[in-house]
Amino acid sequence: MEGKSTIHRYYGISAMLLIVVGIISIYLGSHTPNRSESTTLKTNPFNKGEPLSRDSGSVISAGISYGSFKYGLSQCQQITKQQQEKQDKNKELPRRQRNPRGPTNTTLLIKNGYIWLGDRYLDGGDILIKDGLILEVGHGLSTDEDNVQEIDAKGRVVSPGIVDMHTHATVYSLPGLQATADVDELSDSATPYVRVIDAINPIDPAIKLVSSGGVTTTLVLPGSDNLMGGEAAVIKLCPVSTLSNQDMLVTAGVDEEQDREKIWRYMKMSCGENAKAHFGPLNQMPITRMGEAYILRQRFEEARFLKRQQDDWCDAAHRISESLDEENVDEDKITRLSEPYPESLKLESLVALLRHQINLNIHCYLPHDMESFVQHSLEFDFEIAAFHHALSAWQVTEILKRAKTNITIATFAGLIFNSFDRMD
């Protein structure tokens, strides 16, 4: 009797459970949106040409907002534009029609100069300049312009402005005190995320001293104690009434579309003894060149991973964008990406380097140090614009040729023996 009673209780409980499940199913079915209320997008963002497997219904789907999506898409479009400009870089640019950094409504005529033309001199020559643009160089020049400023050079040498491609002036300002020393950010051995423009001192007394020697333009670089020193900047050494270091930039006032002028970015890195000589005594990496190479490769790897994340996001975003009617977007029914466009202030400049948007300048002396950086450039696909100092470059020309692009060698005019690398 007891066994039959247990069986009856078992069947009774089972029946009750079936009834409860049925009631729940009926309730959920009555509260599920009809398929007629949903909208299917044209393409699957991850498989071009296939229909979307997920419909978006009247319930707002999880994911980023449409505003965040549009911001990310604009970043993707900028990347595409930069890639196209890189492919078109060998096209001949039109003759410049204006100087965005020069004066306006002015005409200057320099007469009777001994003009340095680079490979030769023009004795008794003239130079005609209008609105900051050199229009003509020759003999017996004249102009019908009103209010012409004329200068008689009286046989003096007239030369183009000298471009200094390596200086620490304005970030290691005179009189050289700790308070004015902003050349090395030594909180870490690799600081690609810092920028010299945030430290350039527009009232550094060195500006007048340097420009008095004929230097008009200079590349201001971070120091060399960091493996990755940060972003550099090109400035004009002429006074600006605003005392703004932004207005000193060689790209100040440039409109890339109107002027057809590329606004380049610059970065400084170093190799060899400097970084390990500074951080080694502090018992911090790098202590050896092995440690230097690891830190460099680790940072490049992080940047490459972020770059791949951005490219994957852009691929999905472009496919979603192609399926939208931009003039009639229902934000409640669009497919939403789960994450916003991936960005990192710490890695942004390195990603730009991997996208070939930065001219990289490297402090390097010895053969094996230069070879190490060439290998890094091949492994992570970035370009080296110049090796600075590079006293041993003449010994390793074949190694330098392994790089994907030509490398400028910016060596010393004379020998300075204040480090072991220079003595080699």
300-314 residue pLDDT tens: 999 999 999 999 999
Q: What is the mean pLDDT of the chain?
A: 86
What pLDDT band is residue 41 in, cutting at 50, 70 and 90? very low
What pLDDT band is residue 99 in, cutting at 50, 70 and 90? confident
Residue type, 302: E
Does the CA dihedral 109-115-116-121 come out positive or negative? positive
Can you give the pTM of this predicted structure? 0.80
User: Which run of H or E residues covers position 374?
Assistant: helix 367-380
Cα–Cα distance between 177 and 200 in angstroms, integer? 15
Sheet holding 228-236, edge to edge: 162-167, 215-220, 228-236, 265-270, 358-364, 384-389, 408-411
- Residue range 355-384: mean pLDDT, rounded: 97
Cα–Cα distance between 338 and 62 in angstroms, integer? 7
Does the CA dihedral 191-404-93-133 come out positive or negative? positive
Cα–Cα distance between 341 and 64 in angstroms, integer? 10
Strand pairing category for 107-116 and 157-158: parallel
Cα–Cα distance between 187 and 173 in angstroms, integer? 20
- Residue range 385-390: mean pLDDT, rounded: 96
What pLDDT band is residue 40 in, cutting at 50, 70 and 90? very low
Beta carbons within 10 angstroms of residue 84's beta carbon: 9
Beta carbons within 10 angstroms of residue 192's beta carbon: 28
